[in-house]
Amino acid sequence: MQIAKNSVVTIHYELTDAEGNQLEKGDPVMSYIHGGYDGVFPMVEEALHGKTVGDAVSVRMEPDDAFGEYDEKPPETASLLKD
């Protein structure tokens, strides 16, 4: 069966930086519904489209293709509590 729109896709993945250092490993797995539902990055979904069980895929993404450039500063938060 090929991966197509509305397929439930389960993948094993490994995320590395540009130097090949492992940043994250999907253990055991990650699942999403294929077809543009924002369950996975668009470039990953595009690379998986049409693949079958057992296929291996490698995707190189730039920061703008994912979450953007890394910012060491913690995000600002607004207080939702009333005084």
pLDDT tens digits for range 32-46: 999 999 999 999 999
Residue 79 has a pLDDT of 64
pTM of the entire predicted model: 0.76
Q: For residue 82, name the pLDDT band (cuts at 50, 70, 90).
A: low
Q: Encoding tokens for residue 65?
A: 């293709």
Task: To the nearest 10°, report the CA torsion of 8, 13, 18, 24.
Answer: 120
Band (4; pLDDT cuts 50, 70, 90): very high
Look at the block and give the residue holding tokens 């009333």. 82
Read off the pLDDT of each residue in 12-36 and give the average, rounded to a whole number: 91
Chain centre distance of CA 35: 14
Cα distance between residue 24 and residue 17, in whole Å:
10
